[in-house]
Amino acid sequence: AQSVTQLDSQVPVFEEAPVELRCNYSSSVSVYLFWYVQYPNQGLQLLLKYLSGSTLVESINGFEAEFNKSQTSFHLRKPSVHISDTAEYFCAVSRNTGNQFYFGTGTSLTVIP
């Protein structure tokens, strides 16, 4: 079975500073990788995904993540955060059959004015 580790449960960062949210996974098979964002009292929304191809994937709101197969990582980065980025972020992994999904425990990002 896969497992997903998000080492940082809380990340405070000042507005306009860069941020990296870390995600590591364990799997011996090919996987699909995802980052989801959850705003307070809402469901999860897909931020970006890696299925195949280029290892660097980007979202429409400035986030990016890079799939590193040798380090089994899929860290999320943004060069300059905004107040509106304050939310809970979840990393998820699925085998490339796309059936079972495993989520990390989440990272709470707080952007400080």
Say how far apart CA 86 and CA 108 lie, in whole Å: 8
Using the rule CB under 8 A, is 104 a contact of another protein?
yes
CA 60 – CA 11 distance, rounded (Å)? 22
How many residues of this chain bind another protein (CB under 8 A)? 26
Binders of another protein among 63-92, rule CB under 8 A?
90, 92
Q: What minimum distance in Å lies between the beta carbon of 48 and another protein? A: 10
- 39 touches another protein by CB under 8 A: no
Is 102 near another protein (CB under 8 A)?
yes
Determine if 49 is a binding residue for another protein (CB under 8 A).
yes
> What is the torsion angle, in degrees rounded to the nearest 10, for the CA atoms of residue 63, residue 53, residue 27 and residue 91?
20
User: 3 burial class (0-12, 13-18, 19+ CB within 10 angstroms)?
Assistant: exposed
**32's tokens:** 């699909």
Footprint on residues 3-22 left by another protein (CB under 8 A): 4, 6, 9
Q: Identity (one letter) of the amino acid at 49? A: K
Tell me if 11 sits within 8 A of 21, measured CB to CB.
yes
Q: Does 45 bind another protein (CB under 8 A)?
A: yes
Contact residues for another protein, defined by CB under 8 A: 1, 4, 6, 9, 32, 34, 36, 42-46, 49, 51, 90, 92, 94, 98-106
